[in-house]
Amino acid sequence: DDGEYDAIILASAGLLRLGLGERIRNHIPVADSLPAGGQGAVGI
């Protein structure tokens, strides 16, 4: 809200639990996500 960030990626489940579901602007499709094995490759 203060304009410090252009974008931030958070888990929508957490936002929904906190009652902040109305703040969700977009969802990343599951097909665009890396499987658990590929996540380590991104870190390297």
Residue 31 inside a domain? The answer is yes
User: What confidence score (pLDDT) does residue 31 get?
Assistant: 84
Domain span holding position 17: 12-43
What pLDDT, in 10s, does the model give residues 4-40? 998 888 999 999 999 999 999 999 898 887 677 666 6
Residues 12, 24 contacting (CB under 8 angstroms): yes
For residue 19, being part of any structural domain is answered with: yes
18 domain-assigned = yes
**C-alpha span between 25 and 43 (Å, rounded):** 26
- The answer to whether residue 28 sits within a structural domain is yes
Total number of domains constituting the chain? 1
Considering the domain boundaries, does residue 35 fall inside one?
yes
* Single pTM value for the model: 0.60
Question: Is the C-alpha dihedral spanning 2, 43, 30, 14 positive or negative?
Answer: negative
Query: Which residue type sits at 21?
Result: G
> How far apart (Å, rounded) are the C-alpha atoms in residues 13 and 24?
10
Cβ atoms of 28 and 9 closer than 8 Å: yes
Q: Is residue 20 part of a domain?
A: yes
